[in-house]
Amino acid sequence: MLEFFFYNNLKNEMYINKINTNYTSQKGHVFINNYENLNELSIHDKSDNNKIKLDGLYVCFNDDISIDEILKKINELNIGTKSKYHIKQTMCYLENNIEKYVYVIL
């Protein structure tokens, strides 16, 4: 089971289904450090420095799928404009005070 936080285009169900159809999702948010535009997000290692709330979608892939397979499929979607992405882990906050430690693609 792999847990992600998707924002912008990746929170579109059509794209998520192209990655894997066996998932659950729920609205959520993360806190980030910098938000110049959707291509220039950053999350600081010190959580106190992340003060900007970013709404999106918590997605949990239920199949036995690797993170490399998920990232390959996301790359094949060809929906981003950056030449290089990186992954960060952070807390995602869901309804009912539920917190999940998730991957975010920046």
Where residue 93 sits, what CATH number does that domain have? 3.10.490.10
Q: Is the pLDDT of residue 100 over 80?
A: yes
Q: How would residue 46 be classed by pLDDT, with cut points 50, 70 and 90?
A: confident
> What is residue 72's three-state secondary structure?
helix
How long a stretch of residues is the chain? 106
**What integer is the mean pLDDT of 93-104?**
94
Q: The tokens 């794209």 sit on which residue?
A: 15
Residues 6+ apart with CB under 8 A from 66: none
Instruction: For the beta carbon of residue 8, count every other beta carbon within 10 angstroms.
Output: 13
**What integer is the mean pLDDT of 3-17?**
94
Radius of gyration for the chain, computed over Cα atoms and rounded to the nearest angstrom: 13
Domain assignment of residue 92, given as a range: 2-105
pTM over 0.75: yes
- Note the pLDDT tens digit of each residue in 49-64: 899 999 999 999 998 8
Q: Is the pLDDT of residue 20 over 70?
A: yes
CA distance 81 to 65: 26
Number of domains in the chain: 1
CA 12 distance to own-chain centroid = 12
